[in-house]
Homo-oligomer: A and B are copies of this chain.
Amino acid sequence: MTSSKKPDKYYAILEGALKVFAENGFHKSQVSRIAKEAGVADGTIYLYFKKKEDILTSLFQEKLGELVEKFNTGVNEQMTAKQALYKVCEIHFSELEGNVNLAFLTQIELRQSDLELRKEIGLALKRYIILIENILERGKQDGSFHADFDVKLVRLLIFGGMDEVVTSWLISGQKYSLTAQVGPTVNFFMKGIEA
């Protein structure tokens, strides 16, 4: 159903990598360990990926693709901008809460990369950031949001805020409900803190 022209082993390797990366972190994960987890030979990995780093980026793009699809499914034009923003935050939190390995990947492992890779990741994130941007634009146009804030800035503030909430929850050991934070989080974005 996905863009699955790719053979099974491609996905098996990615799943193995997700598990191994989440357990040990990118730099401490050996390729051979991923191979064993995926049930393929070490060399096989290099039939599907050029370098170890490519596994990480492919994994990210694949997973982000799935997320974006969920966003696209969950958010539609009938919603108000506020409702859409709520939905985005809800999906963001619930997806990562429901898949801790993926959370480790996005919040910890993907940061373990040099500038080069960070740019590539930034590029992949673009689609998500733009989704938020579109919602902000829509709110401005229909008058439900202020007219004078900087969309380019605020999308960062929103994304960064949600991102930090997830990381904090993850590092703390996932001891509380992440989805319970959706309401207060969106509320802050909407109303700020000023009385």
Point out residues on A near B: beta carbons under 8 Å. 24-25, 27-28, 82, 104, 108, 111-115, 118-119, 122, 136, 139, 143-147, 149-150, 153-154, 156-165, 167-168, 171, 181, 184-185, 187-195
Contacts and interface: CB of A to CB of B under 8 A. Distances in A.
Given A146-B194, A164-B164, 8 more contacts: A108-B115, A122-B168, A144-B195, A153-B185, A156-B168, A157-B161, A163-B164, A189-B192
Given A160-B161, A163-B164, A187-B149, A122 B171 contact: yes
B114 A188 contact: no
A16 B185 CA distance: 41
20 contacts: A25-B114, A27-B112, A27-B114, A111-B112, A112-B113, A144-B195, A146-B191, A147-B195, A149-B184, A154-B193, A156-B164, A157-B185, A157-B189, A160-B162, A160-B165, A161-B161, A163-B164, A164-B164, A190-B194, A192-B192
B193 A190 contact: yes
Number of this chain's copies in the assembly equals 4
A100 to B, nearest CB: 12
B27 A27 contact: yes
B171 A153 contact: no
A181 B160 CA distance: 15
Nearest to A161: B157
A146 B195 contact: yes
Contacts of A158: 161
Nearest to A191: B192
A111 B162 CA distance: 17
A156 B195 CA distance: 19
A131 B181 CA distance: 22
Given A108-B115, A157-B164, A164-B157, A188 B194 contact: no
